[in-house]
Chains A and B, each alone.
Chain A
Amino acid sequence: MKTRKVGTLAIVCRDCLAKEEWTENDLGSFLVKITLFIPCFIDQYYPGAGIGMVKILEKLGHTVEYPESQTCCGQPAFNSGYWDEARSVAETMLDAFRDAEVVVGCSGSCGAMLKVFYPELFHGQPREAEAKALAAKTHELSSFLVNVLGVGDLGASFAAKATFHDGCHGLRELGIKREPRELLRHVRGLELVEMREAETCCGFGGTFSVKFPEISTAMGEGKCASILETGAELVISNDSSCLMQIQGLADRQGHKIKSMHLAEVLAHF
């Protein structure tokens, strides 16, 4: 096993001899040392999504690492306007991922925090270069699988009629729309149906959900109605925070909606 640099990635590959110059297009066939980014609420409330991610990446033959010093990306403080506090938390993450070659996370929202908002948060600050470096090497799971590793079929089977909810940050900050659908299309037994206004926010929005609970709840009700209209028994998303909102509201209102993170569905081999 040898390591080669390809773009920003340090690639661990079985056979490094064949070519002198590689591009990112060659990555699909290589084995990568992956550092997991597990956001705090996934760690605390939805470990299944993280475990699913471990299973998927190891099945593909990659090495998975998890720096235990990671806590929270700092988004709650950032979105609330407390950027100094957010930055001090973000520094913990810069430290945790300093030696990582490639960072893969299972939340579009927290992924966007690292990838899009860290460079802004650290703009003109001493650790700006580190923040930019972390942003460059961070990927959301479905985007990493499809766009970096070139994987579509993970060999998963899951019998259900399901609909996919696009988390706003994954969709609009990271531009992820096709990738999770591409992965779900290959899941045996899964019937994927599109809901009306799939791209409309579920109403979570982090601290917004508790600062403006009435508006947040009304938005969630609209989302639940869209899901129920499809007749799907399962809603899948690449963002557990949206699912917490949708499931929490569905349970309270007695709707028969079951939610699962994309990684959990894909890890059903």
Chain B
Amino acid sequence: MSSESVQFHRDADRLTHDLRHRAWIQKALGGYYVKRDEQKAKYTDWQQARATAAAAKYEAVNHLDKYLVELSDKLAARGTKVFWAADGAEAAEYIASVARDAGVKRIIKSKTMTGEEIHLPQALEKAGLEVVESDLGEFIVQLRGEPPYHIVFPSMHLTRGEIDETFQKKLGSAHADTPEELTMIARDVMRQKYCQADMGISGANFAVAETGHISITENEGNARLSTSLPKVLVSIVGIEKVVPKLDDLATLLPMLATAGAAQNMTCYNTLLGGPRQPGETDGPLEFHVVLLDNRRTALLADPEQRDALHCIRCGACLNVCPIFKNIGGHSYGTTYQGPIGSVITPHLRGLQSWKHLSFSSSLCGACGETCPVKIDLHHHLLQNRRNAIAQKPVWWEMPIFAGFAWFMRRPALYRFAAPMLRLFEPVMRAIRGMDIDPASMWTRTRDLPPVPQQSFKEYWRARHAKR
């Protein structure tokens, strides 16, 4: 078992027993389901919209060579510097060097999961820079020294009381009760940071090849401030974020808002086209776009699961996932939680270390059903399982499944299964839930059904004997 798997089992087991957590997440998502359905109902045909969104991403992902070059050329034409980073280390190094060259001390950062993926804030802090998160949820988990709990709602696991406690402890603020008061406390701190920051860092929701725009969608206005006030701006963009046409945003932005936050549209939608142009009075003097691979091309090389690069990071699959709802976001130990994380993390960070996430699913398919860009998520979990076992079978499972197959290939032998079950039932009952119970993983928490006096096969034989 990998150390990642050990951590997963430990944290998941703990969280599933935390009834307060279970009730809190259920409550938080209960409101989301109602509003999401209201927003979906506004579409003439949600399924058609999904197909259109998936087609736009399919076109982009299957012609990355073309659209990334187009994007890069269009960005460069307006004076943006484009850096192609093979991995997280290259990206962080480049951004640190940009900061060094421009004499940057303080960085204000808006939400970027790609930045989280490569541990960008930590790398920059190590280089002696101050990094402050400007997204409220991210700001809260940053104060607590926690990773984001959810792709879209980083602090959804925290109650108002816990946030108040964090603010009092970390910011020295007075006790606050209402969301408005808490927001004002964070805003007071952040306004200072916006003015002091000499570098802004953002992610990207989409990157438009046709026009050379970075598209950012948000609800707090913090990304707009982070990207327009500081003199240097860096946007970190996973290469799968490119879309061919500006028109594609007309489908993708409302879908992202609907699926991700149960909104018609998010409040602030920004298109970043380049640094301050001659004659303009504001905006960053330098604009750097870092295009990040970080093993996305390895996923691209897998024709079965390539569509996982369609992901627009809306988090909808997390919201409907019964596993996520019970184990919470932190148990995964990954940047991307929930079904999409379970699918892509093995590709990004190694199959053998992260295969347990693909096994930890009832394959219910709620994720694939909800995905706005139609990623075949739960079937990809099955494929990850197959690939993991083909690469390296589990030593103790091999004889079990070989034995299972040997037995099930022999109908004449299988006939004895029913009498054997009946014979052993009293013993199984006596040792139920004990360590020596071979079914203990079931019987510790659940009863087994009674073994019937007659199996179906026996019923059928008896019926024919009578005739």
Contacts and interface: CB of A to CB of B under 8 A. Distances in A.
B141 interface: no
B69 to A, nearest CB: 35
B445 A47 contact: no
A89 B404 contact: yes
Tell which of B361, B364, B456 has the most Cβ of chain A within 10 Å: B456
A215 B447 contact: no
Given A45-B452, A168-B365, A208 B457 contact: no
B401 A222 contact: no
B449 A92 contact: no
28 contacts: A42-B456, A43-B455, A43-B457, A44-B418, A47-B452, A47-B456, A50-B459, A70-B411, A71-B410, A78-B382, A79-B382, A82-B397, A85-B401, A85-B405, A88-B409, A89-B408, A168-B363, A171-B365, A172-B365, A173-B365, A201-B362, A203-B322, A208-B361, A222-B22, A247-B447, A248-B447, A248-B448, A252-B446
B401 A69 contact: no
A205 B369 contact: no
A247 B447 CA distance: 8
Contact of B366 (A201, A211, A213): A201
Contact of B451 (A45, A48, A77, A172): A45
A199 interface: yes
| Secondary structure call for the A interface | helix
B405 A213 contact: no
A45 to B, nearest CB: 5
Interface string A165-198: 0001101110000000000000000000000000
A156 interface: no
A71 B412 CA distance: 10
Given A72-B408, A85-B401, A247 B449 contact: yes
B395 interface: no
Interface in B398-432: 401-402, 404-405, 408-411, 414-415, 417-418, 421
Contacts of A46: 449, 452
A51 B405 contact: no
B7 to A, nearest CB: 14
Interface residues of B, number: 62
Nearest to B323: A215
B385 A69 contact: no
A96 B13 CA distance: 42
A160 interface: no
A245 interface: yes
A47 B449 contact: no
Contacts, number: 192
Given A82-B401, A244-B449, A252-B446, A218 B16 contact: yes
A41 B323 CA distance: 25
Interface residues of A, number: 66
Given A82-B393, A206-B363, A222-B322, 9 more contacts: A38-B457, A44-B421, A46-B452, A72-B408, A77-B405, A209-B441, A210-B439, A211-B360, A248-B446
Tell which of A48, A80, A204 has the most Cβ of chain B within 10 Å: A80
B456 A80 contact: no
B389 interface: yes
Contact of B362 (A38, A85, A208): A208
A40 B402 CA distance: 17
B456 A50 contact: yes
A199 B16 CA distance: 20
Contacts of A209: 362, 441-442
